[in-house]
A = this chain, B = another copy of it.
Amino acid sequence: MSARQKRSSAANLSSGMNEILHQLCCIGCGARIPGAAARSDFRCTVCGELYDVEYPGWSQRGGQDRPNPGGLKWVLRERRSSTEAVDQSGVWRFRELLPILDNFGNAVTLREGNTPLYHMTRAARALKIDQLFAKHQGMNPTGSFKDTGMTAAMSVAKAWGFECVACASTGNTSAAMAAYAARAGLRSLVLIPEGKIAWGKLSQAMDFGAVTCQLKTDFDGCLRLLSQIVNEAPIYLLNSVNPYRLEGQKTPAFEIAEAFDWSVPDHLIVPGGNLGNSSALGKGFREMLELGLVTKMPKISVIQAAGANPLVRSFREHQAASLEPVVADTRATAIRIGNPASWRKAVRAIQETGGWCLDVTEAEIAIAKAEIGAEGLGCEPASAVTLAGLKKLRAEGKITSGETVVLILTGHSLKDADYTIDFHRGTLLKEEEAAGREAEIAALRRDAVAVEATPDAVLAALKGSAR
């Protein structure tokens, strides 16, 4: 059942979607279809691959559907001082660059985006890089970059008249979906494998009123069942196969270009889990280049955890032509993904920009996270692979000191407080994981010390723990 079929059974006269400006293009076989013709599971009817959202009018220079770069830059700047919700959103402020809705006033927004771009002065000094920044997507409303994608896809769900949305997820996706569903007045359904629920990860979905079902199956089983459910019932699928999520997730590329006054940094470093993020950022920069908003793309490099590195293996063993799922194991749970949905899109972003794909160890992640913390920036462990990866790229001479580098931090430190506690109390890493890095780790650790309640004892403790 397609969105169009479902809608025809409802009383809506208009879809709320802009079907003229956008279409879907299969990244596998190149088949093009109207957005309304997509299957409920968003798989290509011909080859089963994923779709990209396309804007055919953009390729006609001088055409009326193609945004004018100069005018657009002016409008985008003006909107920054607007008090309208749709302008205050860091996603919908760029609405000409994701013209999927008929009426942007109906966008479901929690004022996502507009995240800070922080100078990382300490790490820049340590790595001898002149210009090093962190774009902190963890500063979104629910604490992760998923919000930027969810505002887009939830607005589509609402425009189509759906009353219920669903995803299979135990983490950041379910939190974002539940929040935006609540905001839109839609019901939300979360499917998770029974047995080992991480309640902390589910707390936000519960808070926002999602219905959570535990199923006697694994994660892939949840996904398969969900595809079946959305095919039978009027429920909108919000897993990352939904191409509209990437339309929102590409907007940090616009924010970054705008922050550099429409020049672009030389290098972008992105954590690699399900690979939607690197895919979306690649799309954002590619589209800006096509529209003449910028004159080049940054190199996009993807960093995975060594215990969850299917894309690294794909590059190493199959020249990125195919990908074999792995059994994922890393404490950086947001990228503990063995079978990433968007790997083909990510490969395209890496290859067309000349970026790299590499992996880092558990100790490297933990050290990098503590170093990011020492800059006053809190992030979840998955975000820290970026700094760990940068160190390797710098050591290998793949990034030079004169280049401008932006790390994409994807989640807030409060998403995984246990990781932070375990690191500082010394219970995070196994002995063999920490081997060879003990001194570095000891210098960064900040356990709470018990001292006598006297000024001298406290001052001695302070002096003793100087980094």
Copies of the protein in its oligomer: 2
- Report the nearest B residue to A194, measured CB to CB: B450
Residues of B within 8 A of A412 (CB): 143, 414
Let me know if A461 is at the binding interface, CB within 8 A: yes
CB–CB B229/A187 < 8 A:
no
Among candidates B116, B119, B232, B446, residue contacting A210 with C-beta atoms closer than 8 Å: B446
Residues of B within 8 A of A78 (CB): 81
Let me know if A417 is at the binding interface, CB within 8 A: yes
Selected interface stretch from A274-282, A341-349, A372-380: A372-380
Given known pairs A116-B110, A118-B110, A462-B189, the reply for A376 and B216 (CB within 8 Å) is no
When chains A and B are docked, how far (Å) is the Cα of A450 from the Cα of B217?
Answer: 11
Let me know if A208 is at the binding interface, CB within 8 A: yes
Among candidates B183, B225, B258, residue contacting A376 with C-beta atoms closer than 8 Å: B183
Let me know if A301 is at the binding interface, CB within 8 A: no
Give chain B nearest CB distance to A218 CB in angstroms. Answer: 10
When chains A and B are docked, how far (Å) is the Cα of A208 from the Cα of B141?
Answer: 21
When chains A and B are docked, how far (Å) is the Cα of A415 from the Cα of B414?
Answer: 7
CB–CB B81/A373 < 8 A:
no
Residues of B within 8 A of A200 (CB): 417-418, 421
- Report the nearest B residue to A122, measured CB to CB: B185
Let me know if A202 is at the binding interface, CB within 8 A: yes
Extra inter-chain contacts (9) besides given A182-B376, A225-B454, CB under 8 Å: A83-B261, A184-B376, A203-B424, A209-B446, A210-B446, A211-B449, A215-B452, A233-B455, A414-B415
Show 14 residue pairs from A and B whose CB-CB distance is below 8 angstroms, ordered by the A residue.
A80-B81, A83-B258, A110-B116, A110-B377, A184-B376, A189-B458, A199-B417, A205-B446, A206-B448, A209-B370, A209-B374, A213-B449, A214-B449, A215-B450
List residues of A whose CB falls within 8 A of some B CB: 77-78, 80-81, 83, 85, 88, 110-111, 114, 116, 118-119, 122, 139, 141-143, 164, 178-185, 187, 189, 191-192, 194, 197, 199-200, 202-217, 221-222, 225, 228-229, 232-233, 258-259, 261, 369-370, 373-378, 412-415, 417-418, 420-421, 424-425, 444, 446-455, 458-459, 461-462, 465-467
